[in-house]
Amino acid sequence: MFNALVVRKDEESGKTAAAVEQVAIDALPEGEVIVAVDYSTVNYKDGLCIGPGGGLVRNYPHVPGIDFAGTVEASEDDRYAPGDKVVLTGWRVGENRWGGYAQKARVKADMLVPLPEGLDTRQAMAVGTAGLTAMLAVMALEDHGIKDGPVLVTGAAGGVGSVATAILAKLGHKVAAVTGRPDQADYLTSLGASEIIAREELTEVTRKPLEAERWGGCVDAVGGAMLGRVLKQMHYGSSVAAIGLAGGAAIEGALVTPFILRGVNLLGIDSVMQPYDNRLRAWQRISQDLPMDQLEAMIQPATLSDLPALGKDILKGQVKGRVVVDVNA
Ligand code: NDP
């Protein structure tokens, strides 16, 4: 038996409730590899899955946790042996399959990535899905060429934004960090941001087709009015890596002019559907390019029993940096 955060649904009322329970190994889904989980994290999707599911969870009872890192305990696949350190993100684990909010997980071997040299399981989850997505966004910007001018990071005090800020600064880019939380300016500066932009400055919807060119690239975690506005301020030939919609799914106020008259690229990044080679390359880049002391500054430690409250906080945009859940604490 092992501990897990189990979400149960009352069929009559349709209401869900999450609590730490003892679970038997036999209850785990099918797969070739059993992992003794060390750490998981809290992402926006986890907030949805800890609560009513937001359409992501297919079956109850459910164990959320869209990512985890741990040690292989048993494997029927030649690629993994007991004792190997592994990390998992994506594959809809924690959504339509039991995830990382448990001391054990059973998954398909294809879903795992070996932990790169230089990262332990706690650091890997301080990075987690949010950090992997930030790295994938930076890689996409690099592939298309980062132009002169600061690189803008929106939703900067959140999980993806914090990691993107730290990576871009370490790579030598000037980073302008957009936040709605002025009290987080020192935190963002400590991650390497050279300029702090107030959220309101970029969320006013304007009818202008274009504005003065300001940004050489952008990692956008917010979408909505912010993305609509930022597109009009991008340098000629630059790119926006769009990763999230914390501020809305519709690109408000957007026109085609930035694409036609400035050759701006809008690059969609989805960490869930990344092929193995890309995931491996991104994890290796993370171990090289993410300053580990700054990663420590982003960590907010948590236990399985903290998760019901944290799930609500992340949906309200109130979580700072990266929540690292020690499932054995
Ligand atoms: P967080 O909640 O940690 O960060 C989101 C940040 O966005 C907040 O901290 C806040 O930053 C800002 N924000 C929140 N609400 C608003 C709003 N209404 N208007 C403007 N800014 C807002 O989430 P994550 O960083 O983990 O994820 C960010 C987004 O990316 C989510 O939509 C998530 O679902 C998505 N995502 C996508 C992935 C992919 O594969 N494409 C993978 C992981 C996440 P501040 O306080 O600094 O303003």
Q: 68-125 pLDDT, tens per residue? A: 999 999 999 999 999 999 999 999 999 999 999 999 999 999 999 999 999 999 999 9
Q: What is the pLDDT of residue 248?
A: 93
CATH entry 3.40.50.720 includes domain 129-268: yes
Going by pLDDT thresholds of 50, 70 and 90, the confidence category of residue 317 is: confident
Residues near 72 by beta carbon (within 8 Å), at least 6 away in sequence: 33, 34, 35, 36, 80, 81, 82, 83, 84, 85, 86
Give the pLDDT score at 82.
Answer: 98
**Residue 134 confidence (pLDDT):** 97
The predicted pLDDT at position 104 comes to 98
User: How far, in Å, CA of 77 to CA of 109, rounded?
Assistant: 7
- The residues, ordered by sequence, that sit 6+ positions from 52 with a Cβ below 8 Å of its Cβ are 14, 15, 16
Check whether 54 has a pLDDT greater than 90.
Answer: no
Beta carbons of 41 and 130 less than 8 angstroms apart: yes
- DSSP letters for 90-116: -TTBTTTB--SSBSEEEE-GGGEEEPP
Q: Whose CA is nearest to atom 12 of ligand 1?
A: 155
Compute the distance from residue 131 Cα to the ligand 1 centre, in Å.
Answer: 12
Element of type H or E holding 326? strand 322-326
Q: Looking at domain 2-115+293-326, which CATH architecture does it have? A: Alpha-Beta Complex (3.90)
What residue spans in the chain does CATH classification 3.40.50.720 cover? 129-268
Q: If you measure from the C-alpha of residue 158 to the centroid of ligand 1, how many angstroms do you get, rounded to a whole number?
A: 6
Nearest to 192 by CA among 230, 214, 164, 221: 164
Q: Which residues lie with the beta carbon below 6 Å from any ligand 1 atom?
A: 43-45, 129-130, 133, 155-161, 179-181, 199, 221-222, 226, 243-247, 269-272, 314, 317, 319
Domain with CATH 3.90.180.10 in the chain: 2-115+293-326
Contacts of 304 (CB under 8 A, 6+ apart): 3, 4, 5, 20, 101, 325, 327, 329
pLDDT average, residue stretch 219-224: 97
Q: What percent of the chain has pLDDT over 70?
A: 100
Residue nearest ligand 1's atom 22 by CA: 247
Arithmetic mean of pLDDT, 43-62: 93
Cβ within 8 Å of residue 51, ≥6 positions away: 16, 18, 311, 312, 315
pLDDT digits (tens, 9 = 90+) for 222-278: 999 999 999 999 999 999 999 999 999 999 998 999 999 999 999 999 999 889 999
Residue nearest to atom 4 of ligand 1 (CA): 158
Report CA torsion sign: 113, 115, 121, 125.
negative
- How confident is the model over 136-167, as pLDDT tens digits? 999 999 999 999 999 999 999 999 999 999 99
Distance, CA of 266 to CA of 197 (rounded, Å) = 21
Residue whose CB lies within 8 A of the most ligand 1 atoms, among 40, 41, 42, 43, for a mutation test:
43
